[in-house]
Amino acid sequence: MTKKRIILAKLGLDGHTNGIKIVASWLMEAGFEVIYMGLYNTPEKVVKAAIEEDADIIGLSFLEGSHIYYAERVIEVMKSYGIEGKKLVFGGVIPPDDVERLKEIGVTEVFLPGTPREIIISKLESMIGERDEN
């Protein structure tokens, strides 16, 4: 069995880290290898790290309303590097009305505030299980 690897990062100028650090801790406790990239990343930097680290999932956190813009940009960069099949998940303060739009763009899953730890871990493990079946 291979290690479950996930990149966690913040994009742009969003400087809020409490939520993403809590989720990183939960995932490490659940056996994930978390590559935490911290603040002020670009889509290109995150996608390159996902390739270099052979991450199963890219997880991005948003709190300032730029999630639609960055979803489109990250998917565009993922396609340019040929990794559009890699799982992309978003979390943070995202209006529920935007979830469907994010999924249309190509985001695999969106975790809104208050999503229980068990649900996040279960869904991420399922995504990796889908990878292992293919």
**Which residues belong to the active site?**
14, 16
The type of residue at 107 is V
Strands 32-36, 4-10: pairing kind: parallel
> Residue 67 CA to chain centroid, in angstroms?
12
Q: How far apart are CA 2 and CA 61, in angstroms?
A: 25
